[in-house]
């Protein structure tokens, strides 16, 4: 089933926001007195439950430190946690402007894999997010892409049909997962290509309707 609605559902990191700041993993590795390769492996190996809201920040960093055979203490965990959050704070100003401009033509939503504490900090630093029609952070909704449950959350929250969505992500596996449940999808490689796809997908005129902000439980990429 589809309707005449058009919902552009954006990924965050690699699309609207930048990927992790260069040098961040090296800084955290140095704090743990381990090689960058060893730290990077542990950092990503233990990440999925943290991203999906199945694990607290403390539990995640405890697993990382133990995986590196490092001692675990609250001060180290907090320093690593704050350094990690800070490393994901950069946004692409041109993309932020473009996303905001689309709200005159379509409903605009966000689906991001981001731990709950990161989401809280990111939302506080980027208040424009509150003006989107829905924001879904994996750490808040307890499901991370490419899990179909993450996409289904957005369908249910916006009371829409999968075909009403155009999902935009820089990772092909996530786009394919969205397409598997019936969404339209676009693998993001740059703003110019995205604008062409969006202009083709959107009708010339979009039906007038009232805007409704739906935010996953906050204080919260």
Give the tens place of pLDDT for each residue, 151-191. 999 999 999 999 999 999 999 999 999 999 999 999 999 99
pLDDT value for 204: 64
- Dist CA 36 CA 2 (whole Å): 48
Fold of the domain built from segment(s) 7-18+90-215: Rossmann fold (3.40.50)
Q: Give residue 159's Cα distance to chain centre.
A: 21
pLDDT value for 81: 98
Which residues of the chain are under the pLDDT cut of 70? 1-3, 204-221
- Dist CA 182 CA 160 (whole Å): 12
- Dist CA 168 CA 165 (whole Å): 9
Phi-psi region of 69 (alpha: psi -120 to 50; beta: other; left: phi over 0): left
pLDDT value for 217: 32
Report the Cα–Cα distance between both ends of the chain, in Å, rounded.
31
pLDDT value for 203: 82
pLDDT value for 213: 34
The enclosing H or E element of 174 equals helix 172-180
pLDDT value for 211: 37
pLDDT value for 208: 42
């Amino acid at each position: 089933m589809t309707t005449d609605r058009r919902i552009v559902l954006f990924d965050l990191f690699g699309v609207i926001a930048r990927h992790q700041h260069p040098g961040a993993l090296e800084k955290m590795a140095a704090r743990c007195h381990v090689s960058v390769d060893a730290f990077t492996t542990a950092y990503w190996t233990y990440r999925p439950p943290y991203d999906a809201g199945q694990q607290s920040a403390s539990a995640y960093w405890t697993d990382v430190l133990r995986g590196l055979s490092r001692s675990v203490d609250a001060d180290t965990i907090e320093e690593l946690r704050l350094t990690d959050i800070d490393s994901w704070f950069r946004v692409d100003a041109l993309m932020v402007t473009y996303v905001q401009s689309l709200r005159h033509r379509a409903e605009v939503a966000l689906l991001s894999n981001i731990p709950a504490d990161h989401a809280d900090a990111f939302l506080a630093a980027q208040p424009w997010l509150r003006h989107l029609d829905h924001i879904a952070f994996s750490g808040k909704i307890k499901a991370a892409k490419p899990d179909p449950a993450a996409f289904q959350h957005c369908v249910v929250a916006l009371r829409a049909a999968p075909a009403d969505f155009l999902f935009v992500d820089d990772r092909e596996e996530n786009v394919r997962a969205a397409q598997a449940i019936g969404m339209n999808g676009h693998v993001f490689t740059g703003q110019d290509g995205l604008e062409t796809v969006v202009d083709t997908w959107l009708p010339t005129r979009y039906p007038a309707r009232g805007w409704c902000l739906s935010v996953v439980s906050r204080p919260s990429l």
